[in-house]
C-alpha cells in the first residue's frame, strides 16, 4: 500500500491461473488458497516493477486478504510490513487464532464425517461459549484438505504485522479487547465497512413494491450472493412464508443439494419453476419474489422493511446493523453458524429457528419465527436492541469515532514509514 499517490503509471501484467494446475474436487476454500499460492510469483513480479519505477511513491505496507496470508513472506522479501484484512467478526478472528491448538485442549471427542462432538462448550477469551453445532462447518475432519489449509492459514496470519477487522468496539468489545492482549498481532477494528448503496437500485421493481407496503410490515428474505437451500427446505420455507400471513420480499435462488452451489456454479435454472404450485398466485399482493438479486442496502433501509431472514454472512449482518433491523438467523456454511450464535445468544437481536432431526426448518416453525419478528413483543425488543447497535455503528464511523481513530492511527503509522 502507498501512503498516497497512484500505484503506477504502467500496469504490470497478471497472468491467469491455469485451472488444470488446481486439484479437482477440492474444498472451495482450499482452491482459493491454492489460487493465491500460484499467484505469488506474479505478486513478486508486480512488487519488483512497482519498487523499481521512478513514477511510484514508496511502498509502505502490503494489505492482504485472509486467504492471501502466504504473501506475508513476499512482503518480507521487499522489506514491507504486511497486514491482513479480516472481513468477518472479531469473534471469528478469535476462533481463527485458536484453531491450530483446538486438539491440544482435548475437548474434541470426534470430528469424523462432518459431525463435531465436544466434551464441553468451547470458551474463547472474551467470547460467549460455543456448542458443537456453532462450529461444525469450521472444525474439519483432520483428513480433509480444508483442515490442512485452515491450520496453515491460521498460523500464517499470526506472522502478520497487524490484522484489520471489520467490526467495531461497541459491537464486540470483549472479543476485541481479548485479542489485543499482546500475544496476537495488533488488531485494528475499523468497521462497519459496508456498501452505502447497491448498483442499479434506482430501477428496482422490488423497491417500488416496498413503497406501496405499510410501514414495518415486510420481512426481507435472502441467503446472500451464493447460498442455496435443499429442495425440501426450499418448499418448507415457501409454505412457511405463506402460512405466516405476513408480507415478504424473497430473493429466490434455485434449490440445490449444496448450500455453496451458488458460489461454485452460476445458476442457469429459473428458480420460479421450483416454487410450490400456485404459490405466487396465493401470495399475490403480500409477497414479492425476485430472482437471484435485490438491492439489499436499500431494501434494509426501507421504512416498510421490518426484519431480515438472513444466512448471517458478516456483510449482511453489518448491513442489517446499519439499518437497525432485527434478524431471523438461518446460517448455511462457513462462520455463519458462529455469527448466528452470537446474534441470537449474546446480542439478542436474532431468532434462530428450530430444526428437525433431518436438519430441516419445518413450515410451522418458519411461520412462528416470522410472526415473532413482525408482530410479537420479542421482535420489538430485538428491534430496540438493534437500534442501539445502529447508533453505535454510526458513532464509530463519525469524525471522532473509535473506528475512525483506529484507521487514522494505522494511516499515520504508514505515513511515518515513508519519511
d(CA 244, CA 366): 8
Angle at 337 (CA atoms; ends 28, 169), nearest 5 degrees: 105
Task: Kindly give the pairing relationship between strand 218-222 and strand 305-310.
Answer: parallel
User: Over the stretch 128-187, which tens digit does the pLDDT of each residue have?
Assistant: 999 999 998 888 778 887 888 889 999 999 999 999 999 999 999 999 999 999 889 999
Higher pLDDT, 32 or 368: 368
d(CA 178, CA 95): 12
Domains detected in the chain = 19-191+397-418 (3.40.50.2000), 205-395 (3.40.50.2000)
Output the nine-digit C-alpha cell for 409: 492511527
User: Over the stretch 78-103, which tens digit does the pLDDT of each residue have?
Assistant: 999 999 999 999 999 999 999 999 88
pTM: 0.90
pLDDT at 250: 98
Higher pLDDT, 105 or 301: 301
CA 118, 120, 122, 124 dihedral sign is negative
d(CA 327, CA 309): 6
User: Over the stretch 313-326, which tens digit does the pLDDT of each residue have?
Assistant: 999 999 999 999 99
At residue 405, does pLDDT exceed 70?
yes
What is the rounded radius of gyration, in angstroms, for the C-alpha atoms of the chain? 23
SS (H, E, C) the chain: CECCCCCCCCCCCCCCCCHHHCCCCCCHHHHHHHHHHHHHHHHHHHHHHHHHCCCCCCECCEEEEHHHCCHHHHHHHCCCCEEEEECCCHHHHHHHHHHHHHHHHCCEEECHHHCCEECCCECCCCCCCECHHHHCCCCCCCCCHHHHHHHHHHHHHCCCCEEEECCCCCCCHHHHHHHCCCCCCCEEECCCCCCCCCCCCCCCHHHHHHHCCCCCCEEEEECCCCCCCCHHHHHHHHHHHHHHCCEEEEEECCCCCCCCHHHHCCCCCCHHHHCCCCHHHHCECCEEEEECCCCHHHHHHCCCEEEEEECCCHHHHHHHHHHCCCEEECCCCCCHHHHHHHHHHHCCCEECCCCCCCCCCCHHHHHHHHHHHHHCHHHHHHHHHHHHHHHHHHHHCCCCCHHHHHHHHHHHHHHHHHC
Amino acid at each position: 500500500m502507498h501512503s498516497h499517490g497512484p500505484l503506477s503509471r504502467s500496469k504490470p501484467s497478471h497472468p491467469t491461473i491455469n485451472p488444470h494446475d488446481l486439484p479437482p474436487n477440492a474444498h472451495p476454500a482450499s482452491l482459493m488458497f491454492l489460487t493465491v499460492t500460484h499467484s505469488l510469483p506474479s505478486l513478486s513480479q508486480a512488487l519488483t516493477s512497482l519498487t523499481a519505477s521512478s513514477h511510484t511513491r514508496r511502498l509502505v505496507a502490503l494489505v492482504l486478504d485472509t486467504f492471501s496470508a502466504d504473501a506475508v513472506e513476499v512482503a518480507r522479501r521487499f522489506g514491507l510490513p504486511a497486514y491482513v484484512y479480516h472481513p468477518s467478526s472479531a469473534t471469528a478472528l478469535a476462533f481463527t487464532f485458536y484453531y491450530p491448538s483446538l486438539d491440544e485442549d482435548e475437548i474434541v471427542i470426534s470430528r469424523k464425517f462432518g459431525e463435531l462432538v465436544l466434551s464441553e462448550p468451547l470458551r474463547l477469551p472474551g467470547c460467549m461459549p460455543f456448542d458443537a453445532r456453532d462450529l461444525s462447518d469450521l472444525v474439519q475432519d483432520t483428513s480433509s484438505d480444508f483442515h490442512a489449509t485452515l491450520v496453515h492459514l491460521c498460523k500464517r496470519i499470526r506472522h502478520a504485522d497487524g490484522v484489520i477487522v471489520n467490526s467495531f468496539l461497541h459491537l464486540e468489545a470483549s472479543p476485541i479487547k481479548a485479542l489485543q492482549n499482546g500475544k496476537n498481532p495488533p488488531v485494528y477494528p475499523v468497521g462497519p465497512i459496508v456498501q452505502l448503496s447497491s448498483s442499479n437500485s434506482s430501477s428496482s421493481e422490488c423497491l417500488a413494491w416496498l413503497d406501496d407496503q405499510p410501514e414495518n410490515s415486510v420481512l426481507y428474505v435472502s441467503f446472500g450472493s451464493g447460498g442455496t437451500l435443499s429442495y425440501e427446505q426450499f418448499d418448507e420455507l415457501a409454505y412457511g412464508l405463506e402460512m405466516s400471513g405476513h408480507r415478504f420480499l424473497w430473493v429466490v435462488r434455485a434449490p440445490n443439494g449444496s448450500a455453496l452451489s451458488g458460489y461454485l456454479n452460476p445458476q442457469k435454472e429459473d428458480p420460479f419453476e421450483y416454487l410450490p404450485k400456485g404459490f405466487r398466485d396465493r401470495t399475490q399482493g403480500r409477497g414479492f419474489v425476485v430472482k437471484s438479486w435485490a438491492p439489499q442496502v436499500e431494501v434494509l433501509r426501507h421504512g416498510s422493511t421490518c426484519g431480515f431472514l438472513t444466512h448471517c454472512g458478516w456483510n449482511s449482518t453489518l448491513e442489517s446493523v446499519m439499518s437497525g433491523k432485527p434478524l431471523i438467523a438461518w446460517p448455511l456454511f462457513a462462520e455463519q453458524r458462529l455469527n448466528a450464535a452470537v446474534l441470537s445468544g449474546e446480542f439478542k437481536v436474532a431468532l434462530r429457528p428450530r430444526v428437525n432431526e433431518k436438519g430441516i426448518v419445518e413450515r410451522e416453525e418458519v411461520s412462528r419465527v416470522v410472526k415473532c419478528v413482525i408482530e410479537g413483543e420479542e421482535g420489538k425488543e430485538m428491534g430496540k436492541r438493534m437500534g442501539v447497535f445502529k447508533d453505535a455503528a454510526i458513532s464509530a464511523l463519525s469524525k471522532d469515532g473509535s473506528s475512525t481513530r483506529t484507521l487514522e492511527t494505522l494511516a499515520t503509522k504508514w505515513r511515518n514509514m515513508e519519511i
